[in-house]
């Protein structure tokens, strides 16, 4: 019984204090990243070339992909007591070809018996001696299968919507590409979730009470940012790079605020920054921070909300080159900011986590 009460209270609080596009309460799968690498680096991947998570940040990042990959990611959303079944999942597949990079993704965010999900497909290509361009399309729906509380509208039917992203990434000519040190600076922008409103119709369970139609405008974003990468190459051709480092930064503005996001006004601004250091392309250590426009679980207003993570890449190749595969695992921890409003529920957890498992085929397709 206490667990049920905690869940009902959490749902009530969700309707009052949620709205963050980066938090669990009422955030949609459209703008709730699951990939642990990008989460650890402050969700600042809009300018990252060859980005397997490009469908969430900027489809132009698909243009630099090589080979193929298949990954599964899970992000915990149990910020408070009694919300252990709140989570987000993502399945992502990519293929880099001579004609550009392709990707397909399924994302689902579940909150008790309410969930949002989308299927996205995207394409990115690089113009010779020019920028990378990308476009993505999404099928999005927000579902409430139904409940059992008499007299309360417990479910709704819906009309899914179709949305589009566009983006561009420009990588400056290498300003230091000699000897063992190689450097790259990239700039990127993207517009996300362009399209019509999602439409629903409530279904009341009390006899004689009819439903009513309603609409939700998708959260639309403008993203802009940079990435800087430096690689110390091995003197042995074909060997793994002994050390590599990358810094990313991003600004994001909310162009439209759905009713679920009413605490965040249109024009709300977010900032993210991240760093990654890799040794022999096998072990990667990551850290980052996000800056939110209001107090939320992942940080206080205009103060850094920290997160950190680790990645392991295990090559399966052999001297004959007949196993050009990599098994990758990533794990990220995101520190939580205490919200006094929820103290009566037993308090918040101190952190939440995300992980992923990925298989990559490294030879060109």
If pLDDT is split at 50, 70 and 90, which confidence band does 330 have?
Answer: very high
Q: Which residue has the higher pLDDT, 225 or 112?
A: 225
Of 235, 126, 249, 245, the closest CA to residue 184 belongs to 245
Distance CA 287, CA 299 (A): 15
Residues pairing with 193 in the sheet: none
Of 149, 145, 120, the closest CA to residue 135 belongs to 120
Q: What is the pLDDT of residues 240-299, one digit of tens each?
A: 889 999 999 999 998 887 766 655 666 788 999 999 999 999 999 999 999 988 777 777
Average pLDDT estimate for 79-100: 84
pLDDT at residue 36 greater than cutoff 50:
yes
Q: Which residue has the higher pLDDT, 359 or 337?
A: 359
If pLDDT is split at 50, 70 and 90, which confidence band does 195 have?
Answer: very high
Whether residue 100 contacts residue 63, with contact meaning beta carbons closer than 8 Å, is answered with: yes
Distance CA 130, CA 171 (A): 8
Of 337, 315, 284, the closest CA to residue 38 belongs to 284
If pLDDT is split at 50, 70 and 90, which confidence band does 84 have?
Answer: low
Whether residue 240 contacts residue 281, with contact meaning beta carbons closer than 8 Å, is answered with: yes
pLDDT at residue 193 greater than cutoff 70:
yes
User: How far is residue 27 from each of residues 68, 150, 208, 279, 290, measured CA to CA in Å?
Assistant: 30, 27, 32, 36, 16
Residues pairing with 227 in the sheet: 186, 248
Of 316, 249, 239, 314, the closest CA to residue 276 belongs to 249
pLDDT at residue 347 greater than cutoff 80:
no
**What pTM does this model have?**
0.86
What integer pLDDT is reported at residue 16 of this predicted model? 34
What integer pLDDT is reported at residue 15 of this predicted model? 36
Q: Which two tokens stand for residue 310?
A: 């680790």
Whether residue 338 contacts residue 350, with contact meaning beta carbons closer than 8 Å, is answered with: no
Ordered structural domains, the chain, with CATH: 2-361 (2.40.160)
């Amino acid at each position: 019984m206490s667990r049920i009460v905690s869940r009902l209270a959490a749902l009530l609080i969700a309707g009052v204090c949620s709205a963050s596009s980066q938090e669990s309460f009422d955030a949609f799968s459209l703008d709730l990243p699951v990939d642990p690498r990008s989460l650890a680096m402050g969700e600042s991947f809009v300018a990252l070339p060859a980005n397997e998570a490009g469908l969430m940040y900027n489809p132009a990042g698909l243009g630099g992909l090589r080979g193929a990959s298949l990954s599964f990611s899970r992000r915990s959303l149990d910020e408070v007591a009694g919300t252990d079944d709140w989570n987000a999942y993502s399945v992502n597949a990519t293929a880099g070809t001579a004609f550009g990079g392709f990707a397909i993704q399924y994302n689902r965010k579940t909150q008790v018996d309410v969930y949002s999900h989308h299927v996205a497909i995207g394409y990115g290509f690089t113009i010779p001696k020019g920028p990378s361009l990308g476009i993505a399309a999404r099928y999005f729906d927000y579902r409430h299968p139904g409940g059992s509380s008499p007299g309360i509208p417990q479910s709704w039917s819906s009309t899914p919507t179709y949305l589009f992203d566009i983006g561009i990434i420009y990588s400056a000519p290498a300003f230091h590409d000699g000897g063992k040190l190689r450097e790259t600076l990239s700039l990127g922008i993207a517009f996300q979730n362009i399209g019509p409103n999602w439409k629903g119709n409530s279904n009341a369970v009390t006899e004689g009470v009819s439903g009513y139609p309603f609409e939700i405008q998708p959260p639309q974003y403008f993203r802009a940012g940079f990435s800087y990468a430096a690689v110390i190459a091995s003197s042995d051709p074909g060997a793994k790079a002994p050390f590599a480092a990358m810094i990313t930064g991003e600004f994001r503005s909310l162009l439209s605020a759905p009713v679920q996001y009413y605490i965040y006004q249109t024009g709300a601004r977010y900032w993210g920054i991240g760093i990654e250091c890799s040794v022999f392309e096998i072990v990667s250590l990551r850290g980052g921070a996000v800056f939110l426009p209001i107090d939320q679980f992942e940080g206080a207003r205009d103060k850094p909300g920290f997160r950190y993570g680790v990645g392991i890449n295990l090559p399966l190749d052999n001297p004959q080159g007949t196993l050009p595969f990599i098994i990758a695992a990533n794990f990220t921890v995101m520190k939580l900011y205490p919200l006094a409003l929820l103290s009566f529920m037993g308090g918040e957890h101190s952190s939440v986590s995300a992980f992923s498992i990925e298989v990559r085929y490294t030879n060109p397709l």
